[in-house]
Amino acid sequence: MLRFAVASMRASVGRLVAAGIAIVLGTGFVAATLLTTDVLRATAEAAVVADLNGADVVVEYVPYTQEQLREIEALPGVAGVDELVTGGVIVESGHRSRYIDVQSLPVHGAPPPIASGALPSADGELAISASLADSLGVAAGETLRWSSVSSELNGTLIVSGITDQGSLLLGDAPGWASSGTLDALRGTGAQEDTSAQNRLLIHGDGTSQERIAAGVRGVSPDLAPRTAQEVTDTKMAELTGSAQFFVLFGMGFAAVAVVVAGMVIANTFDVLVAQRTKVLALVRCGGATKGQVRRSVLIEATLLGLLASVVGVGLGLGLGQAAAWFLSSRTFGVTAPRLTDVAPTTLLVPVLVGVVVTLVAALGPARSATRVSPVAALRPAAVDPVRAGGRARKWFGGLTLVVGLALLVVPPTLVVATDVSEGVDLDTLLVLLLLVGVTGGLLTVGGVLVLSVFFVPAVIRALGSTLARLLPGEAAATARLATANAVRNPRRTAATTSALVIGVGLVVMMGTGAATARTTLEHELGAQFPADLLVSSTSEQGFGDAELEAAEAVDGVVGLATAWDRSVNLADDPGTAVMVVDPVALDEVLGGRSFAVADGHVALSPTVYERLGSPEAVRLGDYGMGTAASTAEALPVEVVESLPLPAVVAPDALGDLGAPTAMLVDVDDTRASEVVADVQDAVSDANPEAPPNMVAPVEVRATFGQVIDALLAVLIGLLGVAVVIALVGVANTLSLSVIERRREHGVLRAVGVTQPQLRQLLAVEGVLISTAGALIGIALGLATGFAGTAIILGSSAEFRFGLDWRVTLGCVVIALVAGLLASVVPARTATRVPVVAALATE
C-alpha cells in the first residue's frame, strides 16, 4: 500500500500542504521552545566561565590567613592567586543612584575589557560597566558619590574608565577598583579579618585541577577548595534548574499549538477521505482489504507528519537562532548557541511529536476510510447533510457543562462576596478554591467542545440570519445559502471551529485576566494614595513661593495642591493621619471624584467615621515637629462619601500653619517618569539647600502597567501561533468543501449564480465559520478569565472587573479578516472551473 499511499499524496499535494502548514507551525513552536533551553544553557555556561576568569581552583567565602595565602602561592603547579575582594555600595550621580558590587582587580586572570578610559590605577578610582554609566549618566573622568548600605560611610570616587560589559541576565556587571579602594568602601581597617568575604581564584600552570585542589586542601582542609569544573557544574545545575520553570511554561503553550494542529489535521484527513470516496471504493472493488485501506491513510499521515515536522524544526530553529543572534548583538550575556550547542533532543523531539500527533489525528479518518463500501464506486453519491449527534452526546455534554459552570462560578462568588474570617489560612483556602475553579474551567470548556456540534451551527445560523436581514435582496440570498452550506455538516464545522475556540479562548482569558489585574491593582494603589505625586519639603521652613511656582511651571504638571504634612492626627485615634489641604484644591488635583467640605469642618471618610463611633466633632492633635496645630476644641465633622483619604481638614481651620510642607501633584500620565524627574529638578533648583522628597505612585502605576502589558504581549504572542493554526484549519475546510461541492457549484451557476456571487458565497461561509468560533471562544475566555482573577484577587477591597477591549475586539476582527482571506483561494478554484466541466459526471 506504500505506493498507493504515495500516489494518493501526490494527487492531493495542494490540500495536504495546507494541512502540513499546521504541523510545521506546531513543531516549529516546540523546536523554538527547546532551543530556548539550549540558549539558556549556553548563556549560563558563558556567565559562569566569565565569572571564573580562567581560574583552575576556587576557594570561596571561608576565612584564611595571609600565611595560608602565601603557602598556596608557593604550591607546585600554582602560577598565581588572585585575591578577589568584593564590596557592595550605593553610587550616586545627581539624582540617580544605584547599588553595585565592586570587585578588586585580578592580577593573574584577565582584566575586564575597557571601552573608554582606563582601569583604576590608584585608590579612589572606579571602573564601571557601560550600562551603569548609562543609567547614572556619567562618563570617564567624572565623579560619583558613594555611600555604604550598612554604615554611615560615604565619599567620592573618580570614574577611571568604562568597561565593555553590559547588563548580564543576572544584574549589572560589577564595578572594579583597587583593593585599597575596597578597604575604604567596606570600612575595614587592616585589623579586621574579612577574608571570609573574599574569593581566591587560583590559576594553575597546566597541572591538573584536581592536583592543585589537593595541594590547597593540604594547606588546610577548611579551605574547601573546588575545581573550576565542579563550580561550573554546580552553578549550571542551579541556573538550569530555575530555567526549567520557563521552559515548562513555554512547553505548555507549545502543547496548545500542537493540540490545535492535531485537530486541524484530523479535520483535513476527514475531508480528504470523504473526497476520495470514489477512489477508495474502486480500490476496494479491486480487492484491497479494510486493513490495507486503513494502512494507506496512516502511511500518508506518517509521511506528511515526518516531512512537515522536519520543515517545522528547521523553521523553529532558524527563527530561534535569528532571535538569539539579534539579542546577543544587543545585550551582553545572551549567547547565541552554536550548532554544536543544540542538543540532539531539540532536533528529535519536535519531529517525534509531529509524527505522533499527525498519526493519532489520522486514526479516526483512517477508520472512516475503511467504511467506504465498494458499491460506492458504481453508484454516484451526493454529499448528504450529516446528522449532528445523538442524545447521549447532549446529555453528557450538558452535564459536563453544568457541573463545570457551577465549579467555575462558586469559588469567585465566595471570595468576592464574603469576608474571610480570621483563623482561616487565606493562602491555602485560595489555592483550594483556585483548583476548584480551574477544574470548573476545564469542564466548562470540555462541555462546550462536546456540545459544539450543537452550539456552532446555532451561532452560525444566528449570525447568518442577522447578516441576511441587514443585506439587500440578492446579497441576502447569498448569505442564506452560505449559512446553509456552513451548517450542513455540523461535525466538520464544529471540528474546524473547536480549534479556533481554544486558541481565541485562551487569548481572551489572558487578556481579561491582565485587564482585571491591572484595574484592581490600580484601584488599590489609588485607594492608598490617590495623588500622582507627593513632593515633601526637607527644610524646616517648608516650601517657599519660588519652589511652588517652579513646580507648577513644569511642563506636564496638570494640577497642584499645597498641603501641610505635619503630623496632624485625630486626637482620639492617633493612627489616623489628617491631611491638611484645601479641599477644593485637593478635589481638582485628584480629578475624578468630586467632593466639597464646609468651612471649618473636618472631613472624614465613611470608614473612619464609623470606626470612631460616628462622632459629631473631633479634636486634632500634633505629634511631633513643627508648628503647633492642635486644637483644644473639637472641630465639627462632615462625612464625605467619596473622600479619597481617611481625613482632611482645610488649613484655615487650624490657624496659621506657615508655609506648606507638601505638594500634591497631578501629572500627565503618559510622561510620568519624565515629569516626576523634571519636578524634582525644578524644586531642587529653586532651593538647592533642601532637595525635596519624592513619592511617586504614578510611576509605580506606570511601571506596573508596563510589566503587565509586556507579559500579556508575550503570552498572546505565544498563543497567537495556536490561533493562526486554527485559522489555517478554516482555510483547509473551505478549500476541501469547494472540491467536494464541485458538481453542486456547477448546478448553482447553471441555475444563475454569477461568479462574483459564488465568491461571495464562499467568503461569507468563511467569515461565518471563523466568527462563530471567535465568539464562542471569547465567551469562554471571558468566563474563565473573570472567574480566575476573581478567585485570586477577589479578596481585595478594590476588586474591579476589567475588560481588554483591544484583545477582545482584535480577536473578532482577526477572525473576520481571516475568514475572508481563507476563502480567496478556494473561491478562485471554484470559479475557475468552467461550468460545463463542473457539471460533468465523472
Partner 1 sequence: MRTLQPLAPTRTEPAARTRGLTKTYGSGDAIVRALDGVDVEFASGEFTAIMGPSGSGKSTLMHMLAGLDRPTSGSVWLSNIDISDLKDKQVTLLRREKVGFVFQGFNLLPMYTARQNILLPFELAGRKPDPAWFDQLVDLLHLGDRLTHLPSELSGGQQQRVAIARALITRPAVVFADEPTGNLDSRSGSQILSFLRTSVRELGQTVIMVTHDAVAAAHASRVLLLADGRIAGEITDPTTDAISAGLDALRVDEVA
Query: Who's near 262: CB < 8 A, 6+ residues apart?
Result: 26, 357, 358, 360, 361
Cα 626 to Cα 631: distance, rounded to the nearest angstrom: 15
Cα 293 to Cα 286: distance, rounded to the nearest angstrom: 12
The residue (of 384 and 427) whose beta carbon lies closer to partner 1 is: 384
CB of 285 to partner 1, least distance (A): 20
> How, if at all, do strands 125-129 and 154-163 pair?
parallel
* Angle 98-547-597 from CA coordinates, rounded to 5°: 105
The residue (of 524 and 744) whose beta carbon lies closer to partner 1 is: 744
Phi, psi of 536 (to 5 degrees): -115, 140
Query: Who's near 407: CB < 8 A, 6+ residues apart?
Result: 436, 437, 439, 440, 443
The residue (of 13 and 382) whose beta carbon lies closer to partner 1 is: 382
The residue (of 66 and 754) whose beta carbon lies closer to partner 1 is: 754
Q: What is the dihedral angle through the alpha carbons of 672, 676, 677, 683, rounded to the nearest 10 degrees?
A: 160
Interface with partner 1 (CB under 8 A): 380, 382-385, 472-477, 480-481, 484-485, 487-488, 743-744, 747-757, 834-836, 839, 841
The residue (of 791 and 838) whose beta carbon lies closer to partner 1 is: 838
Residue 348 near residue 310 (C-beta atoms within 8 A): no
| Cell matching residue 516 | 482585571
Q: How far separated are the first and last CA of the chain, in Å rounded?
A: 25
Residue 377 near residue 278 (C-beta atoms within 8 A): yes
| Cell matching residue 762 | 464562499
CB of 279 to partner 1, least distance (A): 19
| Number of residues that make up the chain | 842
CB of 497 to partner 1, least distance (A): 18
The residue (of 601 and 745) whose beta carbon lies closer to partner 1 is: 745
CB of 386 to partner 1, least distance (A): 10
Q: Please state whether 246 falls in left (phi above 0), alpha (psi between -120 and 50) or beta.
A: alpha
Residue 504 near residue 778 (C-beta atoms within 8 A): yes
CB of 476 to partner 1, least distance (A): 6
CB of 389 to partner 1, least distance (A): 17
The residue (of 237 and 836) whose beta carbon lies closer to partner 1 is: 836
DSSP 621-683: EE-SSSS----SSPEEEEE-TT-SSSEEE-GGGG----S--EEEEEE-GGGHHHHHHHHHHHH
CB of 556 to partner 1, least distance (A): 59
Cα 793 to Cα 426: distance, rounded to the nearest angstrom: 12
DSSP-derived letter for residue 539 is S
Contacts 24+ apart (CB under 8 A), 678-685: 678/554, 678/555, 678/556, 679/533, 679/535, 679/551, 679/554, 679/557, 680/95, 680/535, 681/95, 682/550, 682/551, 682/553, 682/554, 683/535, 683/543, 683/547, 683/550, 683/551, 684/95, 685/550
The residue (of 417 and 751) whose beta carbon lies closer to partner 1 is: 751
The residue (of 196 and 836) whose beta carbon lies closer to partner 1 is: 836
The residue (of 789 and 831) whose beta carbon lies closer to partner 1 is: 831
Residue 252 near residue 506 (C-beta atoms within 8 A): no
The residue (of 393 and 743) whose beta carbon lies closer to partner 1 is: 743
CB of 470 to partner 1, least distance (A): 14
CB of 382 to partner 1, least distance (A): 5
CB of 268 to partner 1, least distance (A): 22
The residue (of 487 and 726) whose beta carbon lies closer to partner 1 is: 487
Phi, psi of 637 (to 5 degrees): -105, 140
The residue (of 383 and 812) whose beta carbon lies closer to partner 1 is: 383
DSSP 783-805: HHHHHHHHHHHTTSTT------H
CB of 495 to partner 1, least distance (A): 18
Q: 3-state DSSP call for residue 138?
A: coil
The residue (of 130 and 475) whose beta carbon lies closer to partner 1 is: 475
The partner residues of 57 in beta bridges, in order of sequence, read 202, 227
CB of 749 to partner 1, least distance (A): 7
CB of 839 to partner 1, least distance (A): 7
Cα 546 to Cα 697: distance, rounded to the nearest angstrom: 25
CB of 500 to partner 1, least distance (A): 22
